[in-house]
Amino acid sequence: MDYNNAKEILAKYNQEHVLDYFDELSSDEKQQLLGQIEEIDWDLLQLIDQPEGVHNKGVITPLDNAVSIKDIEAHKEVYRATGEKAIKEGKVAALLLAGGMGTRLGSDKPKGMYNIGLTKDVFIFEMIVRNTLDVVNDLGVWIPLYVMTSEKNDKDTREFFEKMNYFGYNKDYVKFFKQEMAPAVSFDGKLYMEGKNRISTSPNGNGGWFISFVKAGLLEDAKKRGVEYINLFAVDNVCQRIADPLFVGAMIEHGCRCASKVVPKATPEERVGVLCLEDGKPSIVEYYELTEEMRYAKDENDELAYRWGVILNYLFNVEDLEKNLENNLSTHIVKKKIAYIDENAQLVKPETENGFKFETLVLDMIHMMDNCLAYEVVREKEFAPIKNKEGVDSVDTARELLKKNGVEL
Ligand code: UTP
């Protein structure tokens, strides 16, 4: 793309300010900026005019059943045997979603590098690896661990794992891959610039993981290793069980194509997505998409009808993921804090949300699957997300739960 093409495109989309500093740039910098302009998906930017309309859902009904703690207790020997067999046969891989920017936590480093220790160092990545090692040590097999990063944190993440000697994991079983980026815009749709030669970009949401995984050649890697199931999970839940044999076994025993760990919602207002049915197929409805009526609806047992909150820990069947590769996920327009340069070309890191990012979400992949097993876990044992610096879902609440579960901090 040359300067004139770029100018034309930018004029068409009312984004001429992107070239404000063009004359000051070195020829390399000019090429970088032109390259970015060429790569932008301009259709995305149009979506901000219709934020409510982009993901129209079908008919939502409550889930008819979930495997409850009681069921799991009753069948745990069978689940365990089946799950352990699959893991020992190398059929299960773990995939850590760590491409997010963690803007609410507000650290410049990858979220996984955050130190939650009190009397000693305990890093979030370390907790994830330790949780995975529990199963590895128990069963005596290495589980492939794929780590999704983004352009913004890839180098730091890889260097940190290297420096920390992979926290005792076998590095031959750890593979990193980068997700793609998307532009970020102000509330009135103007592209933000994060430097004179760079449009502000951010990772394109955790729903992009499979395409990036395939592009990085890792689907091939997984298939070569005989992987059939991928356990996908978020970086910020430091308590979760990873490649949990009972979870794997329950999905296989129930003949399900996919599975999600769930917790009963603490209150109707809790801000978690809920697993339910959409036109009879599994689907996750975000907390802000639940109508007032659905939020408080009760079932015949006087329990919340929409009570199964997801904790971002899923099992997918590789075959089904491949089958759905071409199916597009809808784009969510998310309000976030976006760093940008001001009129003096100084970088500003805003304290409050100042624009939109464009993200696809892994929770939308659930609807592409034929069925999904809801698998209940004990909140106090497995759900301690670190989203915020303080208050709800924060470092403090996670520390408390870790201590209750006997983890020294
Ligand atoms: P969150 O929804 O908490 O987003 O991610 P975030 O970007 O990390 O944090 P905030 O909203 O800016 O504070 C849930 C999980 O999905 C991953 C995160 O790393 C986390 O494990 N994620 C999110 C990605 O891997 N890529 C993304 O583009 C977004």
Q: Is 102 in the pocket of ligand 1 (CB under 6 A)?
A: yes
CA of 1 from ligand 1 middle (Å) equals 32
Q: Is 184 in the pocket of ligand 1 (CB under 6 A)?
A: no
Q: Which atom of ligand 1 is nearest to the CA of 235?
A: 21
- Report which protein residue has its CA nearest ligand 1's atom 22: 100
CA of 204 from ligand 1 middle (Å) equals 10
Q: Is 98 in the pocket of ligand 1 (CB under 6 A)?
A: yes
Q: Encode pLDDT of 90-136 as tens digits.
A: 999 999 999 998 888 988 899 999 999 999 999 999 999 999 999 99
54: pLDDT strictly greater than 60? no
For residue 55, the model assigns a pLDDT of: 59
| Residue in 114, 152, 206, 358 to alter for ligand 1 test, most ligand atoms within 8 A of Cβ | 206
Distances, alpha carbon 200 to alpha carbons 36, 183, 196, 203, 393, in Å: 10, 6, 10, 11, 28
Q: Encode pLDDT of 233-283 as tens digits.
A: 999 999 999 999 999 999 999 999 999 999 999 999 998 999 999 999 999
How far apart (Å, rounded) are the C-alpha atoms in residues 120 and 166?
Answer: 18
Q: Which amino acid is located at 103 in the chain?
A: T
Q: Is 249 in the pocket of ligand 1 (CB under 6 A)?
A: no
> What does the block give as tokens for 334?
């998310």
157: pLDDT strictly greater than 60? yes
Q: Which atom of ligand 1 is nearest to the CA of 99?
A: 25
Report DSSP state, residue 115: B
Q: Percent of the chain, pLDDT > 90?
A: 87
Q: Is 203 in the pocket of ligand 1 (CB under 6 A)?
A: yes
Q: Encode pLDDT of 342-394 as tens digits.
A: 999 999 999 999 999 999 999 999 999 999 999 999 999 999 999 998 999 99
For residue 289, the model assigns a pLDDT of: 82
Contacts of 191 (CB under 8 A, 6+ apart): 15, 17, 18, 40, 45, 183, 184, 185, 199, 200
- Report which protein residue has its CA nearest ligand 1's atom 14: 234
CA torsion angle for 130, 136, 140, 145 (degrees, to 10)?
-120
